Amino acid sequence: MHKHLLAAVAAVSLALPTAALADNHADPLSAQADHALHHDEAAWDFLEGITTEVGPRQAGTEAEARGRVWAMAWLEERGFANVADEPFQMQTWVRGEETAWISLPFEQPMHITALGNTASTGPDGIEAEVVYFPSYADLEAAEPGSLDGKIAFISHDMRPTQDGSGYSFAGPARWTGPGLAASKGAIATVIRSIGTENHRTPHTGGTSFPEGVEPTPAGALSNPDADNLERMFTRADGRPIWMTLVLTPQWLGETTSGNVVAEIVGRDPSLPPVLVACHLDSWDLGTGAIDDAAGCGIVSAAALNVAEAGQPLRTIRVLMAGAEETGLWGSEAYSAAHIDEPIGVGMESDFGADRIWRFESNFRETNPDLHARLAQSVARFGVANSTIVATGGADINISRDQGGAIIDLQQDGTRYFELHHTPDDTLDKVDPVQLRQNVAVWTQVVGILANEAGSIQTGE
């Protein structure tokens, strides 16, 4: 805590970035990072601007296209070079009507939202008996054919976790649950929202059906509705529970999405760039503030801060990927288009805007000096070193495809799944103080990387 206090004191004295610096922050980059901790304006402006002036930006829709136009204008206004939209084609699914109600024995409506890539019930809906599975494992244990003509209810419950591991625990209920239920005969599936809060705002998200299994309608109930349905099974005392479901999503066919790219050009553009990524699309229910306008604001602000501290050696390339939510279309398109252009290191911000608490790389053993320098550089912001091997996020497929260097700046995800993929993903959920800590940490790390002459992966 002592160092942290010193940093805060130093930052307070940095109303002018050119002011005298404490010894341990004598370099312009560290001073810039400290300054960002208290004075970020760019990340918030991006976040507020795109959520207010564009709002939801669903993959493949005209709203996402407006998001690209908005982001490019912002990047150009902020002085980025080589701002471009790199278009790609995708299959686009959009939501329709969505209602659910229990018709027997306890009549009442339920709050539901359709899952991405699912089929329509048709406008007249379907009515069927509900079969209750407390967990994913219970569904796995069901006999083939046992769900013929039924609606499966997977109530697999999720707890908050700081490192996001609760998503791996509960996520399969959404990712593959509807497909698994369909393979056992279910005509539709409802799941408990993959979320950790108790609001009447169901969590959407993509699902996929295995080859040979016809997609069915599937939706997520809000957590209070899932609780209620569970209680109904207790109170019905063996009487069957019937649900009526109207979900009318549709496929729009092939539409155009795009990746927005922009650069801070380095002094030696022949060196492989530092890639800082986020995604520009969002689910349609919220305004995509924490998922992922915040990430785009953070990486862009950090790139600007590094430039402010002096033109970096390497180019910093910002990638605001399109169409992440519905299947990483943009990340795959970027990798396919640029696979032959080596990336120096890939990093992504896509886990909200709460504080970074852990530093991870995948070159701790191959370039221990750089790993240690980076970890040490952000310790004053409360970020711990880690031996976990970074694997990167959804938007940097290219780094994984190239087998390149990756850094994960792990954000605190305790609150993230209260908001994830819900209407509640709005600007007011972002804590400006924590957002600034993200910008400070990213500034520090990206700045060191962008000024590294040797290979980031090996030090050579």
Q: Which residues bind a second copy (CB under 8 A)?
A: 48-49, 51-56, 63, 66, 106-109, 111, 198-201, 223-224, 227-228, 231-232, 235, 286-287, 422-424, 426-429
Distance separating alpha carbons of residues 178 and 381, to the nearest angstrom: 42
Sheet with 242-247: strands ordered across: 108-110, 98-104, 242-247, 126-133, 151-154, 188-192, 218-221, 112-114
Region for residue 253 given its phi and psi (left: phi exceeds 0; alpha: psi -120 to 50; beta: otherwise): left
At residue 167, what is the residue type? Y
Nearest distance from C-beta of residue 266 to a second copy, angstroms: 33
Burial of 166 (0-12, 13-18, 19+ CB in 10 A): buried
Report how far residue 17's alpha carbon sits from residue 32's, in angstroms, rounded to the nearest whole number. 7
Q: How many whole angstroms separate alpha carbon 281 and alpha carbon 327?
A: 11
Structure tokens at 438: 């993200």
Residue closer to a second copy, measured from CB, 244 or 455: 244
- Looking only at the bridges linking them, the beta strands covering 98-104 and 108-110 are antiparallel
In the bound complex, what is the minimum distance in angstroms from residue 375's beta carbon to a second copy? 36
Q: How far is the CB of 287 from a second copy (least distance, A)?
A: 7
**Do 325 and 275 form a contact (C-beta atoms < 8 A)?**
no
Q: Which is nearer to a second copy, 46 or 209 (CB)?
A: 46
Radius of gyration of the chain (CA): 23
User: CB of residue 222 vs a second copy: minimum separation in angstroms?
Assistant: 8
Nearest Cα neighbor of 296 from 337, 338, 324 is 324
Q: How far is the CB of 106 from a second copy (least distance, A)?
A: 5
Query: What is the smallest separation between the CB atom of 97 and a second copy, expressed in angstroms?
Result: 11
Question: For residues 408 and 425, which CB has a smaller minimum distance to a second copy in the complex?
Answer: 425
Question: Considering the complex, what minimum distance in angstroms separates the CB of residue 231 from a second copy?
Answer: 5
Residue (3 or 235) nearer to a second copy, CB: 235
Bridge partners of residue 87, in order along the sequence: 258
Q: How far is the CB of 139 from a second copy (least distance, A)?
A: 23
Please report how close the Cβ of residue 172 comes to a second copy at its closest, in angstroms.
24
Q: Which is nearer to a second copy, 109 or 432 (CB)?
A: 109
To the nearest 5 percent, what fractions of the chain are helix, strand and coil? 35, 25, 40
Cβ proximity of 434 and 355 under 8 Å: yes
**138 CB-near residues (< 8 Å, 6+ apart):** none
Nearer to a second copy (CB atom), residue 197 or residue 308: 197
DSSP 309: T
Q: How far is the CB of 438 from a second copy (least distance, A)?
A: 21
In DSSP notation, 223-237 reads HHHHHHHHHHHHHHT
Which lies closer to a second copy via its Cβ, residue 96 or residue 109? 109
φ/ψ of residue 332, rounded to 5: -70, -40
Element (H, E) at 447: helix 432-450
325: left (phi over 0), alpha (psi -120 to 50) or beta: alpha
Minimum separation from the CB atom of position 124 to a second copy (A): 18
For a second copy, the closer of residues 55 and 382 by Cβ is: 55
Nearer to a second copy (CB atom), residue 50 or residue 186: 50
Closest to a second copy by CB, 23 vs 428, is 428
SS3 call for 94: strand
Nearer to a second copy, 183 or 228 (CB): 228
